[in-house]
């Protein structure tokens, strides 16, 4: 299976190299080049909010996030587990909590505790012990061994960055890949590629989603019952704020709010390429049901904002690894609204 996928990728790669003229492409974004407006905003005393690409997807905080609740020594619980932790334990990034040890195989040391002498942080702190992660990092379940190794290699070689330099956790992720040995990469790829895929995000069309706040890299529903117009955004938030935000519950899922009509438009683009040569039906490479295969990662049921960032990163040559050459022509003509519709539709599909 893996060998077959490799042959297909290599075949497609050489085909795409023939088809895509190498010259005449926009130049890759320079290292550290801030998007217009950048972080901090408020340039030149204008009152206009800073322009920020797909702000709903990158979720780079423009102001200081609200302080997290203090640890008062209280011990917290979640359903269907005997585990009990204080907030201080829940926030440890060297010894991350494992609420449901029965949901996954025994974590290798680097997944559970990182490799501190080499600057590698515990994968499970951000991606959770079960690999599902949150929208600001990524869901590793359903990825193949080969694809994971390829991405870690791309991060390590500088071939995978975030378009938005304000998205500091992607730079940190690249730093971890640089610190990892080949053995560690093999170990983590084996662990995460063995993980079970289950539904993680629901997509809801609405004009007026709940008001959200940025808590330092992703959004949660603000307290109270206020709503805000959706505009042309996708807002992905935890279904249960307390479980995700305070307790880092790796079983508590997400909901993505999108404008009415989005899913129909997304379906057209994903299944037919939108007609008029805008893009190509995704299943040609990502497989039936978009469940992925070998070097082609799964797309169905994954975080919409994660997927949107990737499409934008491919479009702006922030992802330039070997596989990206197949994706660049796919995303070339997509508008930000197309990216919204495509990723909402993909997130709405059953992942299994
Ligand atoms: C500080 C948080 C953090 C930690 C710790 C972390 N990651 Fe990541 N990881 C990220 C972010 C952020 C991204 C990229 C998201 C983006 O750019 O949109 C990412 C992306 C990835 C991807 C790419 C997924 C895909 O679908 O292409 C892989 C694979 C990955 N991480 C593996 C790991 C492994 C293995 C470890 C442990 C050695 C680890 N990560 C530790 C934050 C983290
Ligand atoms: C010609 C084959 C091909 C087609 C068609 C294709 N893809 Fe891809 N796609 C790839 C490859 C290969 C990768 C892995 C890229 C890499 O290694 O960086 C990828 C990666 C991605 C990723 C990144 C996923 C992750 O885990 O980070 C997204 C999102 C994506 N594709 C979306 C789409 C969408 C949406 C379509 C249809 C509109 C599509 N792709 C059509 C080959 C293809």
| Domains annotated on the chain, with CATH | 76-193 (1.10.760.10)
Q: Are 327 and 320 in contact (CB under 8 A)?
A: no
- Distance from the CA of 177 to the center of ligand 1, in angstroms? 9
What confidence score (pLDDT) does residue 65 get?
Answer: 86
Q: How far apart are CA 280 and CA 85, in angstroms?
A: 48
- Distance from the CA of 285 to the center of ligand 2, in angstroms? 7
Q: What residues pair up with 256 in beta bridges, in sequence order?
A: 203, 236
Q: Is the pLDDT of residue 180 over 80?
A: yes
**Relative to the alpha carbon of 281, which ligand is closest?**
2
Q: How far apart are CA 96 and CA 150, in angstroms?
A: 26
Q: Which of 191, 101, 109 is nearest to 144 (CA)?
A: 191
Q: How far apart are CA 290 and CA 200, in angstroms?
A: 16
Q: Which of 149, 156, 148, 158 is nearest to 179 (CA)?
A: 156
pLDDT band at 153 (very low <50, low <70, confident <90, very high): very high
Q: Which of 144, 140, 178 is nearest to 159 (CA)?
A: 178
| 274-319 per-position pLDDT tens digit | 988 999 999 999 999 999 999 999 999 999 999 999 999 999 999 9
Q: Are 86 and 73 in contact (CB under 8 A)?
A: yes
Instruction: Determine phi and psi for 254, rounding to 5 degrees.
Output: -125, 160
Mean pLDDT of 153-177: 97
pLDDT band at 38 (very low <50, low <70, confident <90, very high): very low
Residue nearest to atom 33 of ligand 1 (CA): 123
Q: Are 112 and 124 in contact (CB under 8 A)?
A: yes
In short, whether 252's Cβ falls inside 6 Å of ligand 1 is no
- Distance from the CA of 274 to the center of ligand 2, in angstroms? 16
Q: How far apart are CA 33 and CA 166, in angstroms?
A: 10
22 contact partners, CB below 8 Å, separation of at least 6: none
In short, whether 292's Cβ falls inside 6 Å of ligand 1 is no
Residue nearest to atom 13 of ligand 1 (CA): 137
Q: Is the pLDDT of residue 270 over 70?
A: yes
Query: Percent of the chain beyond pLDDT 90?
Result: 81
Classify residue 116 as exposed, middle or buried by CB count within 10 Å of its CB (0-12, 13-18, 19+).
Answer: exposed
**Relative to the alpha carbon of 141, which ligand is closest?**
1
Q: How far apart are the first and last CA of the chain?
A: 19
- Residue 317, token pair as written in the block: 């040559």
Q: Are 58 and 214 in contact (CB under 8 A)?
A: no
143 contact partners, CB below 8 Å, separation of at least 6: 151, 192, 193, 292, 297, 298
pLDDT band at 62 (very low <50, low <70, confident <90, very high): confident
- Distance from the CA of 41 to the center of ligand 2, in angstroms? 32
Distance of CA 167 to the CA centre of its chain: 12
pLDDT band at 252 (very low <50, low <70, confident <90, very high): very high
Q: Is the pLDDT of residue 32 over 90?
A: no
Instruction: Round the average pLDDT of the chain to a whole number and report it.
Output: 88
Q: Are 344 and 258 in contact (CB under 8 A)?
A: yes
Q: How many CB atoms lie within 10 A of CB 292?
A: 22
Mean pLDDT of 97-101: 98
- Which segments within the chain are labelled E, that is strand? 76-77, 84-85, 201-205, 212-214, 219-221, 235-238, 254-258
* Crossing angle of helices 304-315 and 336-348, rounded to 10°: 140
Residue nearest to atom 38 of ligand 1 (CA): 123
Residue with tokens 């992942």: 351
CA angle 313, 319, 320 (to 5 degrees): 140
- Residue 97, token pair as written in the block: 């909590």
pLDDT band at 208 (very low <50, low <70, confident <90, very high): very high
pTM (whole model) above 0.85: yes
- Residue 349, token pair as written in the block: 């599909």
**Ligand 2: which atom is nearest the Cα of residue 160?**
18
In short, whether 138's Cβ falls inside 6 Å of ligand 1 is yes
| 108-125 per-position pLDDT tens digit | 999 999 999 999 999 999
| 327-352 per-position pLDDT tens digit | 999 999 999 999 999 999 999 999 99
Mean pLDDT of 245-272: 98
Mean pLDDT of 86-107: 96
Q: How many CB atoms lie within 10 A of CB 42?
A: 12
| 214-249 per-position pLDDT tens digit | 999 999 999 999 999 999 999 999 999 999 999 999
**Relative to the alpha carbon of 216, which ligand is closest?**
1
Mean pLDDT of 164-182: 97
Q: Which of 195, 65, 212, 71 is nearest to 128 (CA)?
A: 195
**DSSP code, position 138:** -
Q: Which of 127, 163, 150, 147 is nearest to 55 (CA)?
A: 163
């Amino acid at each position: 299976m893996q060998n077959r996928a490799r042959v297909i990728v290599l075949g497609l790669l050489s085909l795409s190299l023939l088809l895509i003229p190498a010259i005449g492409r926009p130049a890759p974004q320079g290292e550290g080049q801030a998007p217009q407006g950048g972080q901090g905003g408020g340039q030149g005393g204008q009152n206009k909010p800073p322009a920020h690409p797909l702000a709903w997807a990158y979720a780079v905080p423009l102001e200081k996030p609200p302080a997290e609740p203090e640890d008062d020594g209280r011990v917290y619980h979640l359903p269907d587990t005997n585990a009990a932790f204080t907030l201080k334990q829940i926030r440890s990034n060297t010894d991350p909590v494992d609420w449901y040890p029965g949901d996954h195989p025994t974590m290798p040391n680097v997944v559970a505790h990182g490799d501190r002498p080499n600057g590698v942080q515990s994968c499970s702190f951000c991606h959770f012990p079960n690999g599902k992660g949150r929208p600001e990092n990524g869901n590793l379940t359903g990825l193949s061994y080969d694809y994971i190794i390829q991405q870690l290699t791309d991060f390590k070689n500088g071939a995978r960055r975030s378009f938005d330099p304000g998205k500091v956790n992607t730079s940190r992720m690249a730093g971890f890949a640089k610190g990892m040995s080949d053995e560690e990469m093999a170990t983590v790829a084996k662990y995460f590629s063995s993980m079970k895929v289950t539904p993680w995000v629901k997509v809801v069309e609405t004009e007026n989603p709940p008001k959200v706040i940025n808590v330092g890299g992703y959004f949660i529903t603000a307290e109270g019952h206020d709503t805000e117009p959706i505009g042309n955004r996708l807002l992905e938030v935890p279904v249960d704020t307390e479980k995700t935000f305070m307790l880092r519950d790796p079983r508590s899922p997400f909901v993505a709010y999108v404008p009415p009509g989005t899913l129909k438009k997304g379906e057209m683009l994903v299944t037919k390429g939108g007609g008029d040569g805008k893009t190509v039906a995704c299943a040609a490479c990502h497989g039936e049901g978009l469940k992925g295969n070998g070097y082609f990662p799964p797309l169905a049921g994954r975080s919409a904002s994660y997927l949107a960032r990737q499409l934008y990163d491919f479009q702006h040559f922030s992802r330039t690894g070997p596989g990206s050459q197949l994706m660049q022509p796919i995303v070339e003509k997509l508008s930000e609204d197309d990216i919204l519709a495509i990723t909402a539709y993909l997130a709405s599909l059953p992942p299994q």
